[in-house]
Structure 1
């Protein structure tokens, strides 16, 4: 498949946009003043913390949401699942 000039332009725009986002990240966090080894340590700690938050929310949030729904359905008159099975 041959890439047309418009396709090349889109890749160039995407590359420029990603470079702009990375530049914004450097400015917002203030790590543009750090040395390369300091940047890598900072990025490693930051991205591992973000990964831990994502993993923890993936594992534990659904459990807590289910428990909260069961609790509030009991308070507001919802029928427990065990009695629903007995009625059938």
Structure 2
């Protein structure tokens, strides 16, 4: 894929974004505010997922291992 095709493809994707969100009818300053807010929200969702999802997955695994017969780590016999 050469640079011209990539550039045209990215321009097409941006045009689709404008059409789907309906911001093609906004003025430039309104577009920039909308895009800033959207970027901020997406960034916060990604950060929150990165920070909190692993904690909840670990807690869920501990919970379900306790329900389905897993032994707590403190009662497991050590093998010498």
Scaled to the shorter chain, the TM-score interval is over 0.9
What secondary structure sits across from 1:87 in the alignment? Answer: coil
Aligned residues: 80
User: Which residue in 2 is equivalent to 1:15?
Assistant: 7
What secondary structure sits across from 2:52 in the alignment? Answer: helix
Q: Which runs of 4+ in 1 moved over 4 A?
A: 85-88
TM-score, normalised on structure 2?
0.93
Distance 1:58 1:85 in 2: 34
Cα RMSD of the aligned pairs, angstroms, is 1.5
Query: Which aligned pairs between 1:53-68 and structure 2 lie closer than 5 A?
Result: 53-68=45-60
Deviation for aligned residue 1:83: 1.5
TM-score, normalised on structure 1?
0.85
Cα 1:36–1:81 change in 2 (3 A) is same
Gaps of 5+ in 1: 1-8
Gaps of 5+ in 2: none
Distance 1:41 1:10 in 2: 33
Query: Which aligned pairs between 1:39-54 and structure 2 lie closer than 5 A?
Result: 39-54=31-46
